[in-house]
Amino acid sequence: MATRQLSRSALAGGTNHEGFLRHRNFRWLKIAGGLCLVSIVAYLLIDQKPHPNGGSAYGYTLGTIGALLILWLTMLGLRKRAMTRGRWSLKAWTSAHVYLGLSLIIVATLHTGFHFGWNVHTLAYVLMMIVILSGMYGITVYAALPRFLSNNREETTQTQMLDTLRSLDRQLHDAAQPLDAGAAELVRRSLEDNPFGGGLWQRLSGNYPKCPTRIAQLELRRMARGMRSSVGADPLEKVDMLLERKESALTLIRQHLRYKALLEVWLYIHIPVTFALIAALAAHIISVFFYW
């Protein structure tokens, strides 16, 4: 029916719309699963003398595969940032990164032959497991959180959220002029509060127990109760309304920042530990060959 050429959508990947976990019908899950299966079967079939260890031919093979995988997995960081031409897709890379990374649990564990000790070899293993565990957290939040991030922001952008806050602050500043010193001090604290402030825990939990805006609102309400209320004309009422609006704006942006933090925080473990892992891995490899 449509006579316009449809080749364009084919060019763009069109409606082939799958997330990184399902990419190409779980292609990398299958490949990684196959790698694990082969490793396990070989572990059971090959009789390693005197006992399973990294120094056997089988052990060297797994070790080489593991080390190369670790280096290749690290390259994702480079791939993501180097916008070169060509028919690659970062989604495919992520998909491979996830499944091959998980397969390292099997490959590297079998490589150890279950020998652990207080040495650089086990250190490398532990670091690797930390990287993988943080990565598993990453997969979980990537799968679960985006829709909450989207629902929470409801078409407002972070810039717009900050603009709203700024404009409310300006209005608060003006509205607080007629207040007495005590009340003005409360409002001033709310104005000086930085929405990006607070520690890591507050950012991740979304709980801000000492939020100056909420305190100011509670205190002002307490003060207002003692006074006669002249509806509408009361400056306290206006400030109260503005504080209320500011609080809901703060809730929105704090929730937004919380989701973003939850989506990002693991990278602060995943990436530095990766570099530590590579250093430990280098030490492990050099020492193994040195003491051959």
Query: Pattern 203-232, binding to another protein, x per CB under 8 A?
Result: ------------------------------
Measured CA to CA, the distance from residue 101 to residue 4 in angstroms comes to 44
Pick the closer one to another protein by CB: 9 or 119: 9
Site residues for another protein, window 248-287 (CB under 8 A)?
A: 260, 263
Can residue 81 be called a binding residue for another protein (CB under 8 A)? yes
CB of 12 to another protein, least distance (A): 4
CB of 130 to another protein, least distance (A): 21
Pick the closer one to another protein by CB: 11 or 231: 11
Q: DSSP string spanning the chain? A: ---S--HHHHHTTTT----TTTHHHHHHHHHHHHHHHHHHHHHHHS--SSSS-TTSHHHHHHHHHHHHHHHHHHTHHHHHH----SS--HHHHHHHHHHHHHHHHHHHHHHHTT---SSHHHHHHHHHHHHHHHHHHHHHHHHHSHHHHHHHHTT--HHHHHHHHHHHHHHHHHHTTTS-HHHHHHHHHHHH--TT-S-HHHHHH---TT-HHHHHHHHHHHHHHTS---TTT-HHHHHHHHHHHHHHHHHHHHHHHHHHHHHHTTHHHHHHHHHHHHHHHHHHHHHHHHT-
Pick the closer one to another protein by CB: 49 or 85: 85
Pick the closer one to another protein by CB: 184 or 269: 269
Identify the residue among 149, 261, 265, 278 touching another protein (CB under 8 A): 149
Can residue 4 be called a binding residue for another protein (CB under 8 A)? yes
As given in the structure block, the two tokens for residue 76 are 């994702």
CB of 40 to another protein, least distance (A): 30
Can residue 196 be called a binding residue for another protein (CB under 8 A)? no
Identify the residue among 45, 78, 227, 233 touching another protein (CB under 8 A): 78
Can residue 158 be called a binding residue for another protein (CB under 8 A)? yes
Can residue 140 be called a binding residue for another protein (CB under 8 A)? no
Can residue 45 be called a binding residue for another protein (CB under 8 A)? no
Helix (H) or strand (E) holding 191: helix 181-192
Can residue 87 be called a binding residue for another protein (CB under 8 A)? yes
Measured CA to CA, the distance from residue 149 to residue 259 in angstroms comes to 6
Pick the closer one to another protein by CB: 129 or 139: 139
Residues that bind another protein (CB under 8 A): 1-4, 6, 8-9, 11-15, 17-20, 23, 78, 80-83, 85-91, 93-94, 142, 145-147, 149-150, 153-155, 157-159, 260, 263
